[in-house]
Structure formats: structure tokens, C-alpha cells
Structure 1
């Protein structure tokens, strides 16, 4: 399958758990994130997925640190990259705290895991208020789905008005619950099958992320089927040959090669915003 839409390459350079003890190129500070953004942008990334750390290097959703990191990245790359913050709980934050971070930071984009923001039926009222507020504010949400079953739950929440809108952006996490978290391109197929049962026009741009040395193959499979990609040290530090990547930009380069093989161009920041339907002018926080 060939898709003429430019492929959006997103870089997730650090995640919540890894440190420089895992790889010296893991960005820990706002300045580190800005440097990683510059090199990833040069390799083809048009979106950076931010995790920030506290003074002790631990995962945090602190709004002040997010604003500092956003400002550093924006100063380094201008409007050429979408800056997306994470709301990942990592077992530390409640839905109320995750939502409060987004409400305080007011980023141009944020990723939200369905199972964290709406953990059960009792959480739907809080989630509804948040999703509708974010839509009204022009904050672009990427809805993270860990299993094909979550695709159906996502569609149900949309049908009942908990999550508003159409052409919504989702991220399929490949191999999260496989042994050793080693993803395979075939892990995408059940997600695509589940998406066929979703009403037309509900799911718009979709991304994948993957774990292990087959990250590049997973990305290639997704891009060839019209998807977009998130790569980086958050989930994987290995090149396709099994060696350790020197930095995040090297993984973005592999994703750009996959786009070229699928005869798709790599999206610029402006193109990425258009594909995602983002109209809000980015600010530095």
C-alpha cells in the first residue's frame, strides 16, 4: 500500500525510566532535550515527545519543568517541531494529577493513555470534562492504545461523547505485553483489523511505537500502510543490526529510510501540523 501523505516522524528521546547510566545520550535536562531535538529534527523528526525529570533525575509531571523544557526546545528548533508533553503516570500520578498538568501547562500537544485517563466507568465524568476542555483549547491529543481491544473501547467512548471530535490521532503500542517487550511488525495487524470496525472518520492519523531491534521493521510496516512513527530511546536503543544506536537521531534516520522505501516523503513541522489538524499557534510555555 502506498500513501502519498508525508510520514510524520516523532522522536521520544528519553522516556520515564532510562538515565545516562543506560546510555550517555539520554537527555535528562531541558538543555539536553533541546540538543536532542535539534539533531532529531535534522534527521527528519517533526514532533518531539517530552518526558521531563526532577532535580534527582526522576520522572515528573511538574508544570514548571515542562514549561522550561518547552521553552528550551522551542528556542532551539523554532516552530519546526511540534512539542508534545506526556501525561504518563508511571505508577506515580492519578488521572486528576495528569489532567491538572495539561490544564496548567496548556501545551500545543499532549499524549494521553486511554487506560490511565479513563481507568474505569467511574472516571468517565472527569475524563469527559478534560477531553472537551482540551478540544476547546486547541490542544492536540494523541490517544495511546496498548491493545487492539482498547480500539473498541476508544470507539465506544467517542460514540457516547466522552471523547469528542473526529479524525482523532491515536498511537498503537506494539509489543507492550509480549515476552521481553520485543515487538514484531505483525503486532500491528490486530490493531488495523480492530480499526476496521470503528466508524469511518473517527480515527485519523495513527502512529506506532515499538520495542527492540525490530523497531525499524515495525515502523516500516506502519509507514507502508499509511501510518506515522514514534521512535527513540524511550522504547528502544538498538539499530536494526542489533547494535546500540549512538543517539536518537540515528533511529530517526532509520525511520526516514523506511519512509523513503515506502515512497513517502518525511513531513516538515508545518506539514505535520496540517496532517494532524493543528491550528493553534505554538507558544514557549
Structure 2
């Protein structure tokens, strides 16, 4: 599986072509799926470009993207930067009138179980975000939701292209003996492409998109998400077994 992460917590200043509005995200999703993505992760944003869990904006964004890519699963963030108080964050999730197919929960953040419970109560599948360099794996493996997630997102925060693959393997070593859900492995910035190749070598689902990386494997600035998807699929086909 190749998930496309359309925008993340980046802003226009990071990437002038970043999809932010509902219409832009719908267009970006359509192009990425046409390029070969089969799952979508996105961050709904307010008029100032900040990530939000606001029910109206979430509904508008999901409705537009679903119309553009019918039948493709769509997920959103629940990161603590959207609403710092996990009680408020869970309350906003419970107030959603249009729900995503899945949503990511970062297990290094306080209140992860509370947020996961709100998602489960709404019938939204949970992606468990496990960041390298944090205690997320320990927290997750002792969580009551550890065996109730759609997948685990093994998120390599090491951005050094030389060391990121080793960090990825170390993270997998902490997870694979214990988790039953599929593991999606991905990196970010300088580590994104090396970790994507590591995922291919291990036969794991992965993801790519402007949330994770703004350049192609040769260092050229990425034009859009669809370009990154095409390059990721090409890279995976040529990855050594």
C-alpha cells in the first residue's frame, strides 16, 4: 500500500504549491490517486492555513475530497498541535458530523488513549503514530487500544539520509515482535526517500507526499504530490529484494 500525505502541518511558506483549502486538497487527492496512491492522509486547515479539528472545516474538506476520489480511504490528523488539551481534542472529534475513514493518533502525546477512545466511539479506524526517538512504542504496547488499530505508522524522525535507515530498522525491531496490525514505515525530509526504500526492502506499506518531503530523490524541488507518488512507485519497483 502507498499512502499519500497531502500537506501535513506545513504552511505556504514551506511550499507555495501546498494544498490547503478543501478544493485544493480535492484536486491534489485526485491527481495523487491517478498517479497510484491508494490511501490518503491529510490535515484540514483553517483560513489562515493552520491545522484544525473544527467540525465544519473537517466536514467541508472530507466532503470535497471524497467526491474527488470515491472509494479511496481518507484519514486525518489528531495531532496535539491542533488542540493541546486532549480532553478538548476528544470532544471536537466527537462533534464531527462528517467522519474520515481513519485518523492518526500520536502515542508519544499525552492523552493518546483518550483521543483513540473518541475515534473508536465514532467508528473511525485508528492509525497509531509511533515516532522514533520517543517513548511512543512503550506507551502504545501497554495501551488498551494496542490490538484495536487499523495500522501502526512507524514514523522515522531521523532526517539524516545516512542514518535514517538504521533508525527505521531499530524502530521496526521494537514493534514487529509485539504488534499484530500492519506496519506502515515512512520517514521525513532528508530521511524520507532512504526510509521509503527500506520499507520496500521489508515489503512494508509506506507513504509519501508533501507532508513528508519537498524534494525528489535527486534533490529537485517536488512539483506536487502526484509527482512524489509516481517517483515512490518507481523507486519501490526497483528496490532490491
One fold, TM greater than 0.5? yes
**Superposition misfits of 4+ residues, deviation over 3 angstroms:** 130-138, 164-168
* Aligned ranges 1:69-88 → 2 under 5 Å: 69-79=61-71, 81-88=72-79
Q: Which deviations, in whole Å up to 9, do the C-alpha atoms of 1:43-94 show, x marking residues without a partner?
A: 1111111112212222222111011010101111111x21101111227432
Residue 160 of structure 2 aligns with which residue?
182
User: Which residue, 63, 79, 88 being the options, matches 2:55?
Assistant: 63
Q: Which deviations, in whole Å up to 9, do the C-alpha atoms of 1:153-179 show, x marking residues without a partner?
A: 31122xxxx2163575111111x2x4x
User: Which residue, 109, 132, 148 being the options, matches 1:147?
Assistant: 132
Distance of 1:182 and 1:142 partners within structure 2: 25
Q: Does 1:165 align with 2:147?
A: yes
User: Which residue, 90, 96, 99 being the options, matches 2:87?
Assistant: 96
Structure ranking higher on relative contact order (CA contacts 8 Å, 6+ apart): 1
Q: Does 1:11 align with 2:8?
A: no
Question: Which structure is higher in helix share?
Answer: 1
Residue 31 of structure 1 aligns with which residue?
23
Q: Which blocks of at least 5 consecutive residues in structure 2 are unaligned? A: none
Residues 1:74 and 1:145: Cα distance change in structure 2 (over 3 Å): same
Q: Is the 8 A contact 2:93 2:118 kept in 1?
A: no
Residue 193 of structure 1 aligns with which residue?
173
Structure 2 counterpart SS, 1:35 = helix
TM-score when scaled to structure 1? 0.75
Deviation at 1:131, TM superposition (A): 3.5
Residue 14 of structure 2 aligns with which residue?
22
Deviation at 1:104, TM superposition (A): 2.3
Deviation at 1:134, TM superposition (A): 3.6
Q: Which blocks of at least 5 consecutive residues in structure 1 are unaligned? A: 1-7, 265-285
Deviation at 1:260, TM superposition (A): 1.9
Deviation at 1:249, TM superposition (A): 1.0
Distance of 1:85 and 1:134 partners within structure 2: 11
Distance of 1:63 and 1:93 partners within structure 2: 17
Distance of 1:22 and 1:14 partners within structure 2: 10
What's the C-alpha RMSD, in Å, of the aligned pairs?
A: 2.4
Q: Is the 8 A contact 1:170 1:203 kept in 2?
A: no
User: Which residue, 183, 186, 200 being the options, matches 1:206?
Assistant: 183
Residue 273 of structure 1 aligns with which residue?
none
Structure 2 counterpart SS, 1:52 = coil
